[in-house]
Chain A
Amino acid sequence: MGGAVSGAGTGAFVVGVGETRYARWGGLAGTSEYQLAIEAILAAVADAGFAVDDVAGLSSFAEDRNDATFVAADLGLPELRYAGLSWLPGGGGACAAVANAAAAVGSGAAEVVVVYRSLCQGQFRRFGRGPGNGAAAGVRVPALRRARGLLDAHVAFTMPYGVFGPPVAYAMVLQRHMHRFGTTAEQMGHVAVTTRAHAARNPRAVMGGRPMTMEDYLGARLVAEPFRLFDCCLETDGACAVVVTNAARAADAATAPVAVLGSAQGAPRGFGHGQYANVGMPDDDYTSAGAGGVAARLWAAAGVGPADIDVAQIYDHFTGLVLLSLEDFGFCGRGDGGPFAASGALRWPDGALPTNTHGGSLSEAYVHGLNHVVEGVRQLRGESTCQVAGAETCLVTSAAGVPTSALVLGRP
C-alpha cells in the first residue's frame, strides 16, 4: 500500500467511473433498469481496481427506484455501513449524492462509497409524455383526489392546466428571462449545436451520429415556446456510477484519483421544489437557476472561483437553463447567459469555458446528470473525447430550477 494521495478540499476522491451502454428510450429493453444499475456499479468498482467486497456505502438521490438496501443485498456486500439518499429531486441531486458520499467517507462511516443512477424511460414513464408525477388522467368524471404526497398536492396547482412536465414549466422561465433580458432562441441554439458537436466525438453519445446545424435547430418543431425539440434533453435508457473514497484508499486505486475540491447544495428561501411546482418566488429567483447561494458556498468551499475553472459540465435538461446556470455560477453577469453562449465560450477546444464535453443530457444521455460527474472525472484524468489540454479543475452542476447541488473536481 502506497502513501495517501494529497489534495485540497473535502479529502474525498473519485477513483472509479462506470457506465452501461446508453440508448434512446426503449433501446435497452432487454435489460432491466435495476440490472443496469448493478452493471454500472460493478463497472465503476472494476475501474477503480477495487473488489466489490470493498464497497461499504451506497449513495443516490431522490426519485431513484433502485433502493440501496436491495443493491447491497443483491451484490452480496459484506456489510452496508452507509445508505444515503439526497432529498434533492431528480437532476438536482447528482452532485449532492457525490458530496454525501464524500461526507460519509470523511466521517469514517464507510471507506468506499458508490454513487449510482439508473434511468430507463423506455421501462417506466417518459418524461416528455404526460402526465407526470403519478397524476391521474383519463378519469370519466374529473374529481379532486387525495394527494399522495406534498409534491402531488403542489403540482395540482400546475398540472391540470397542461403543465405536463418540465418542458412546459421551464419554457415559462425562459419566456420571462427573454422578456427581462432579451435572450433569444439562437442563443439557446448555441448550447444545443455546441454540445451536439461534442457528442460527435463521443462513442457513448446517443446522438453522436446526428450532426446538427443552427438551421436544423431553428427548423425543429416547437414543443412549448420558446423551446423547440432540440432545446429539450434526450429520453434515454442507461446507468452510471462513480466510486468515492478517502486519501488512503485512493492511493491503492488503479486510476489517477480525482479530488472532490468542494461541494454545495440547497435552494433559496421560498424556492420549494423550484419553478416546476412553485411560481411565487422573487423575480430574480424565478429567472435564475436557483443556484446563486449554492455557487457562492461552492466557490468558498473549493477555494477557487469561476475564473479558475478549466472545463464545466452544466446540467442541461433544457438549453435555456444552461444559460441561467452560467449566470448563477458567475461566468457572466445576470441576464448575459445568452450572449455568453453565443460568443462561442462553451465550445471545445477553443471556447473560454468548454462545456458538456461529453454531449450532456442534450446529446449523450439523460442519467439525471450523474454522467456529467463521470465526464468531469474523465477530463481530469485526461481521458475525455473532447479533452481540454491540461485541465486541472472542472465544475459540475446539477439541475437548474430545482433545489440543486454542484461540485468542483480537481487534479490532486
Chain B
Amino acid sequence: MSRWFPDEMPVPAANAETAGWWEAAAAHRLVVQRCEGCGTTRHPPGPVCPSCRSAAASWHAVPGTGTVYTYTVVHQAFIPALADRVPYVVAVVALDGAGGARLVSNVVEADVTEVRVGMPVEVVWEDMGPELALPRFRPRSARAAVAR
C-alpha cells in the first residue's frame, strides 16, 4: 500500500449529499454523481441536478483516467508535517467518461518539473485510514495506456 502524504493532512468532511462519494472512494471506486432524470453528471455532488432539478441521482463509476487541466507545484509547507514533502503537485484532473467533471487531486510518482497541462494521468488510491481513501493520480505512459 502506497503512502504519499502524511496523516496530518486535513481530513475531509462529508454531508448528506457527499457521503456516498466518500463511501465509494473508501472502496477505491472513483465515481461522479449522475442525474437519473437527464443523465447530466456533476461534481461535487449536490441535492438536485442543476440542469433539470431532479433529485434522483446515482453514482456513476468512471475509468480513473484523465488529463491534467491545470496544476501548481506547491513549495511552501503550509503545515509542519509537509516540511520534508514539498514540493508537491496539486492538479485539476479532467476525468475521462465523466461528462466534463473535474477533480482536484495530486500528481504523484512524477518529477514535479515534468507535470504539464494536458498530461495523461491515471488514478492511484491512498488509504489514509480504515475507512478513508483519497484518489491521487500518476502519469500514464503511452505503453500503459495501450496495455489497458
Which residues of A are interface residues toward B (Cβ below 8 A)?
128-131, 135-148, 150, 152-154, 156-165, 167-168, 171-173, 175-176, 179, 221-227, 270, 278-280, 286
Tell me the bound Cα distance from A167 to B13 in angstroms.
21
Q: Which residue of A lies closest to B136 (CB)?
A: A161
Tell me the bound Cα distance from A156 to B70 in angstroms.
19
**Could you tell me the distance in whole angstroms from the C-beta of A131 to the nearest C-beta in chain B?**
4
**Contact digits for B64-98, partner A, Cβ 8 Å, 1 yes 0 no:** 00000111111110110110000110111000000
Would A153 and B17 count as touching, CB distance under 8 A?
A: yes
**Could you tell me the distance in whole angstroms from the C-beta of B32 to the nearest C-beta in chain A?**
10
Across the interface, which residues of A come within 8 angstroms of B15, CB to CB? 146-147, 150, 152-153
Given A142-B128, A148-B13, also A221-B75 (CB < 8 A):
yes
Would B76 and A157 count as touching, CB distance under 8 A?
A: no
**Could you tell me the distance in whole angstroms from the C-beta of A157 to the nearest C-beta in chain B?**
5
**Could you tell me the distance in whole angstroms from the C-beta of A377 to the nearest C-beta in chain B?**
35
**Contact digits for B116-148, partner A, Cβ 8 Å, 1 yes 0 no:** 010000000000111110101000000000000
Among B9, B43, B71, B132, point to the contact of A175 (Cβ < 8 A): B71
In the complex, the 5 A-B pairs of residues with the closest C-beta atoms, listed nearest first = A156-B12, A130-B78, A164-B78, A176-B70, A147-B13
Would B104 and A157 count as touching, CB distance under 8 A?
A: yes
Tell me the bound Cα distance from A176 to B102 in angstroms.
14
Tell me the bound Cα distance from A147 to B76 in angstroms.
27
**Could you tell me the distance in whole angstroms from the C-beta of A161 to the nearest C-beta in chain B?**
5
**Could you tell me the distance in whole angstroms from the C-beta of A311 to the nearest C-beta in chain B?**
33
How many positions in chain B have a CB within 8 Å of any CB in the partner chain? 49
23 contacts between A and B (CB under 8 A): A128-B76, A135-B11, A138-B8, A143-B130, A143-B131, A144-B11, A145-B13, A146-B13, A153-B44, A156-B14, A156-B22, A157-B18, A158-B104, A159-B12, A162-B78, A162-B106, A167-B76, A223-B76, A225-B72, A278-B44, A279-B69, A279-B103, A279-B104
Would A162 and B132 count as touching, CB distance under 8 A?
A: no
Q: Which residue of A lies closest to B42 (CB)?
A: A280
Tell me the bound Cα distance from A230 to B42 in angstroms.
36
Across the interface, which residues of B come within 8 angstroms of A154, CB to CB? 44
Would A137 and B79 count as touching, CB distance under 8 A?
A: yes
Given A130-B10, A148-B13, also A173-B129 (CB < 8 A):
no
Q: Which residue of A lies closest to B72 (CB)?
A: A171
Would A270 and B70 count as touching, CB distance under 8 A?
A: no
**Could you tell me the distance in whole angstroms from the C-beta of B38 to the nearest C-beta in chain A?**
15
Given A141-B129, A145-B11, A146-B15, also A279-B102 (CB < 8 A):
yes
Tell me the bound Cα distance from A171 to B72 in angstroms.
6
Given A135-B10, A153-B17, A161-B106, also A175-B70 (CB < 8 A):
yes
Across the interface, which residues of A come within 8 angstroms of B14, CB to CB? 144-147, 153, 156
Across the interface, which residues of B come within 8 angstroms of A270, CB to CB? 50
Among B10, B43, B131, point to the contact of A164 (Cβ < 8 A): B10
Tell me the bound Cα distance from A139 to B5 in angstroms.
14
Across the interface, which residues of A come within 8 angstroms of B12, CB to CB? 144-145, 156-157, 159-160
Among B11, B50, B102, point to the contact of A137 (Cβ < 8 A): B11
Would B131 and A144 count as touching, CB distance under 8 A?
A: yes
Across the interface, which residues of B come within 8 angstroms of A142, CB to CB? 7, 9, 11, 128-129, 132
Given A160-B10, A160-B134, A161-B105, also A175-B18 (CB < 8 A):
no
Instruction: Verify if B24 is at the interface (C-beta below 8 Å from A).
Output: no
